Amino acid sequence: MLERIPSIRKAPDEEYYVPGHRTCAGCGPALAYRLTAKAAGPNTIFIGPTGCMYVANTSYGCGPWRVPWIHAQITNGGAVASGIEAAFKVLARKKKYQGEIPHVIVFAGDGGAVDIGLQALSGMLYRGHDVLFICYDNESYANTGIQTSPTTPYGAWTTFTPAGPAVPEGKKLFPKDNPKVVAHGHPELKYLATASIGWPVDLMNKVRKGLNAEGPAYLHIQAPCPKGWQFPPNKTIEMAKLAVQTGMFQLYEYENGEYKLSVKMEERKPVAEYLKLQKRFAHLQPEHIEKLQAFVDARCAEVGITVPAVASAR
């Protein structure tokens, strides 16, 4: 069993995601990877479906992981992980493997988890494999130059959803809520949570809970992307915090049909305070921001965040 990490100071020193990767300066997903690897420890196997965290980390012919890592196609992270987990089980049963069964973690982007990779994720959860599937959500196909994905927020500019006279808000669709998709259709699921790189101790503990669960677990991590969201690379943590403080992203664990909130909030900030710091939302008009605020209010109410959005006094 992996123990709970009480604070930043008590977090383990050891790094299993080491310096030397071609991720952006200020990369949110890279920090998510580092914290996940730190929490999981040395007896871990990572599966890396195609995405930034495959391509940027492995250019060229090398990688920053101290633990085993294998590439999967963007479609099949869940399937590759299922095979690895099942193989260890069989080898252990036949006494051909006697060590401790390693933690098996899929580290997929929103493309590899919510969109192209959804069927393999769902199959893995349905069959009950003892795997932690992590989605690092940077809200676009960032690796190929920022195309829209199902988790791209309403109103965001991407190269596939440019704002213009015909479609002034950029992206017109509201995002797919993958924790919800996962939660309600998979009876074997043992643990489900969302996390943010703005709350690193909470994130690491959710990784550990997911790994301690005997069966499939799903962790959805919001990880801001300075390239795709168009903000300066030193603001990555601020964006992560604002996402939660505005309710754009909600931090919770989902247990026995109930949302258990991870962060206490006295009030919410209006989404406008989050949007104005990212150039991907620079084109939005007041009516679009209103529409997004209403969407966020409704989703917050659904998970039990009842505090209202209040503009900060200036």
Which residues are paired to 108 by β-bridges? 135
Binding mask 69-88 for other proteins (x = CB under 8 A): x-------------------
The footprint of other proteins on this chain (CB under 8 A) covers a number of residues equal to 53
192-211 positions binding other proteins, by CB under 8 A: 197, 200
171 belongs to the binding site for other proteins (CB under 8 A): no
Contact residue for other proteins among 145, 185, 215, 304 (CB under 8 A): 145
> Residue ranges of the alpha helices (H) in the chain?
28-40, 52-58, 77-93, 110, 118-127, 178-185, 200-212, 226-229, 236-246, 271-275, 286-303
- C-alpha separations of 146 from 169, 181, 244 in Å: 17, 24, 23
DSSP, collapsed to helix, strand or coil, labels residue 108 as: strand
227 belongs to the binding site for other proteins (CB under 8 A): yes
Contact residue for other proteins among 12, 162, 185, 308 (CB under 8 A): 162
Tokens 């899929």 — which residue? Answer: 106
Within 8 A by CB and 6+ apart from 5, the residues are 11, 12, 39, 201, 204, 205, 208
Binding mask 91-130 for other proteins (x = CB under 8 A): ----------------------------------------
Q: Output the smallest distance, CB 256 to other proteins, in A.
A: 31
20 belongs to the binding site for other proteins (CB under 8 A): yes
Within 8 A by CB and 6+ apart from 287, the residues are none
Please choose, out of 77-85, 89-97, 109-117, 142-150, the segment that lies near other proteins by the rule CB under 8 A: 142-150
DSSP assigned state of 253 = E
233 belongs to the binding site for other proteins (CB under 8 A): yes
Task: Give which of 1, 18, 12 is closest to 204, Cα–Cα.
Answer: 12
Q: Output the smallest distance, CB 35 to other proteins, in A.
A: 8
- C-alpha separations of 192 from 86, 130, 218, 251, 259 in Å: 21, 13, 5, 11, 10
Contact residue for other proteins among 1, 3, 60, 100 (CB under 8 A): 60
Distance CA(164)–CA(159), nearest Å, equals: 12
Contact residue for other proteins among 4, 12, 43, 68 (CB under 8 A): 68
Please choose, out of 55-63, 74-82, 205-213, 259-267, the segment that lies near other proteins by the rule CB under 8 A: 55-63
DSSP assigned state of 268 = B
Q: Output the smallest distance, CB 125 to other proteins, in A.
A: 29
CA angle 268, 269, 271 (to 5 degrees): 115
Q: Output the smallest distance, CB 273 to other proteins, in A.
A: 17
Of 179 and 228, CB closest to other proteins = 228
Contact residue for other proteins among 25, 294, 301, 310 (CB under 8 A): 25
Rule CB under 8 A: which residues touch other proteins? 8-9, 11, 13, 15, 17-28, 30-31, 34-35, 55-56, 59-69, 143-146, 159, 162, 197, 200, 226-227, 230, 232-238, 279
